[in-house]
Structure 1
Amino acid sequence: MRTNRKPLYQRKAFIIIMILFLGFVGIQFVRPDVPNPPVTGDLEVPADVKAIVQRACYDCHSNNTNLRWYDKIVPVYWGVASHIKDGRADLNFSEWNKLAPADQKAKLWESINQIISGAMPLPSYTAVHTEAKVSPADLAVLKNYLASMVHNKPADTAAINAADKQYQHWEKNETAIAKLPTAANGIAYIPDYKNWQPISTTERFDNNTLRVIFGNDIAVKAIKENNIHPWPNGAIFAKVAWAQLQDKDGTTHTGEFKQVEYMIKDDKKYASTYGWGWARFKTPKMVPYGGANVLFTNECMNCHKPMAAEDFVFTLPIKH
C-alpha cells in the first residue's frame, strides 16, 4: 500500500522551521521607539566638513537618523536602536547649540581623534553601512578644518606669567601637598607617577595643551610583552597636561600645569566602570575633579567607550 505521508524526520523539520518562522515574525513587533525630535541647533561648519560628518556620524549622533530597510529588521533593529540612544546621549549634533563654544571645539577634537584611532564610526556599523566610512581624504578635510580653528602664535604675557608664577611657587615648595587628595570614587592622588616611564604623548590643539602619558611598572611590562588585550590588573596610566606655549621662534614647550588623570586597571574592583578606575586632579593643589559627585566617571566612560576593542584605552605606546 502506497502512502504520500512524509517521513517523521521531515515533519519534525517542517514543524521546527514553522516555529522559528513564526517566532521571527512575532519579534518584529517588539520594537523600541527611535524618535527623531526637532533639531534645536545644528552643527555649523563649512559644507565639505558638514557633508563628511553627516554621512559618517548623523545616523547615531543626530535627530536626523536615516534607517535603511535592513536596519528595521529585528533583532538588528534592537542593536541599532541602542546605538542611537547611546550616540545621542554622548554627542548630538542636532543640539549643538546647547554646548558652549569651548565644549564644541573639544567635542570636534574628540570626534576626529576617535576617527583617527579607528574607533569611530564603529567598524561593525561601517561593515554594513559602507558609505559611512571616512577615507584618508575625508580625514584630511576634517583635520585641516580643526587646525584652522587654532591660531598658533607666540604665547601672550599672561600665559607666560602664569607659568612663571607656578614655577616660583614650586621652587618655594608652596605647592607641597600635606594630605593626598581623594576623588569621590575613593581613588587617591598618586604622586609617584613622576617616577614612571613615559609611554606616549598627545596634543590637544583645541585647547592648546600638551600631554604626556606615564605608565607604572606593570603597564610598561605589559607593553614590552604585548600583553595589552586586555591590560593586566594593576596597570596604571597617568596623563599629565600642561598649557602649550610657543616662543617667538616657533618652538613649543610646556607652560602652566593643568591636571593629571589616572586610569587604574582592576577588572573586579572596577567592574561597573569597564574594569578601570578613573580619577582626575586639577591645578598644583590637585583638586579632585567632580567634587563629591562620583558620577564624573560617566564622562570618562563615555569618552572611552568607542575604544572597547582596545580595552577602553586610547594610548598607543611609542615603539622603540
Structure 2
Amino acid sequence: MTSSNHMAIQRLTRLLPASLLAGLLGGGLWIFLGTYVNAWCWDDIICFNHSIFDSISELQYIVLTILVLFLAGMLAVALQQGEVGSQAQAVFAGGVSGCMVFLINMVHSEILDLFSHGSTDPVGHLIFKASIIIIYTLPLLFLTLMVAVLAVLGALVLFSSQEKVNTPEENARASRLVLSSIILLILTFVALPPLVAHLMIGAGMIEVSSSVALIGTFISLEHTAPDTIVLTALEVPATSALADPPYSVYINGFHGVDVSNTSAAAASGLAITVEPANGLQAVEGSKATWKGAVFEDNSTPVSVTVIAHGTDGSDIELVVLDHNVQD
C-alpha cells in the first residue's frame, strides 16, 4: 500500500465517528417524526377515514424523510469541523451517515416487532429475521443505497456552501445558515399539513364521516358519593364531528330515562340535579355531575348509557368506564 493510499484511508477513518453520530441523530429524528410527531399531528383527524388525510400524511412523511436524510448528510460534514477537504470525503461522510440512519430505522422496527408480538423466544425471532434479511438482501441494499444517496446530496450541499468561503468564521456561518434552513423546512412540513387539514375541516371544505370519529370517544363514570355520579370525557373527537348537544345521557339503557341536562332531568319526573345545567360537553377532561336518590338504591343499581351524536346524524353508544369510587 502506497503512502498516499494509507493517508487517504486515515483521512476517511477520521471522518467515521462524526459521520456515525450524524447518522444516529438523523435516525433518531426520523423515528421520532414518523411515530410520535405523526401521531400528534394526525390522530385527532385521521379517524375521519377520509382518503385526503391519508394522502396528505403520507406525502408529509415522504417529504420529511427526504429532509431528515439531507440533514443527516449535512451534519456528517458540519460535525467534522473542517476535516472534510474534498467532495469525495463529503460523499463518504454523507454515505456513512445515510447507512447509519437506515440501520437505526431497521433496528427500531425489529425491536418494535419483537415486543409487539410478545415473543418468548427472542433467539428464534432473531434467526427468523436474519433469514428474511438474507432473502431480501437485494431490495434492502437498494433501499440503503437510496437513503445513502439522499444523505450524500445533503453532505454535498453543505460542503459546496463551505467551499465558497475563505475563513473559518465564514465557514461556520455558512454551515449554520444551511442547517438552520433545513431545520426550518422540517418544522414547516411538520406543522403546515395538519394545520391546513384542520382549517379545511373547520371551513367545511371537506365532508367527513363523523360516525367513524365517534368510535374513539371514551367516557368515565365515578360514584363520588352514594347518590352522585360524575361523567368525564376522557377522549373526544374533533368538535366538528359532534353535533350540538354532543351527548345524551340515559338511565337504564338507550330507551330508558333521558337525564342529559337539567331540562331533560326535570321532564323525566325524577329528582335529579345536573351540574353544569347543559350536561357533559365535548371537551377532553370536561366533567358533569348527576345527583339524585335514583343512584342511591344499591338493591337495583341503575345503568348509565351515554350516546354521542355526530354531525352527520349518526348516534353511537359510547364505552363508559365505571371506576366506582364511592366515598
Tell me which of the two structures has the higher relative contact order, counting C-alpha pairs closer than 8 angstroms and 6 or more residues apart: 2
- TM-score normalised by the shorter chain: which range applies? under 0.3
Over alpha carbons, which structure has the higher Rg? 2
Q: TM-score normalised to the size of structure 1?
A: 0.24
